[in-house]
Amino acid sequence: MAALSTHMSELEAVSITNPTEKDFSHKFNGEEYSVKSGETVHLGKFAAYHLARHLSSKMIQEELAELKAKAEKKKEKFPDTLEGQRLVYDNPERRKKLYLILKDKIAVQEVVKNYVRKDGFIGQMSEYEEFVSSLSAQGATA
């Protein structure tokens, strides 16, 4: 019976929300999935987690592009390592984006566990925890 319950949990529906101002599309197992700006969709766990990871990466890339443009405008050096740290490793910015998409700390942890490099956490976990607490205080799901 344990194998069946494990299999069933893999099939459970997970909600993901696109918190960006742009529609998002990405493929999972060769099939294109789209989530419009502001839309919440319900997908199987694997598809939802895969899309959440890629949407969070897109959000991070856009944020990094803005930071880089600001640094160039001010003629400041942009840290070469920042992009790799934010896109590859577990860090507060990745978790914040995932939380905005999944609205669930356990789901964020599962995505990090399965899709993000786990050589250690870069940054302060308290930054993520404070972010979740502030959203929870505003009425978001914790």
The four Cα atoms 49, 54, 57, 61 give a dihedral, to 10 degrees, of -160
Q: What is the pLDDT of residues 7-46, one digit of tens each?
A: 556 678 999 999 999 999 999 999 999 999 999 999 999 9
Q: State the pairing for strand pair 117-121/89-90.
A: parallel
* CA end-to-end distance (rounded Å), the chain: 31
pTM over 0.75: yes
- If DSSP codes are grouped into helix, strand and coil, which group holds residue 138? coil
| Strand segments (E) across 36-123 | 40-44, 89-90, 117-121
Contacts of 70 (CB under 8 A, 6+ apart): none
Integer Cα distance of 30 and 7 in angstroms = 22
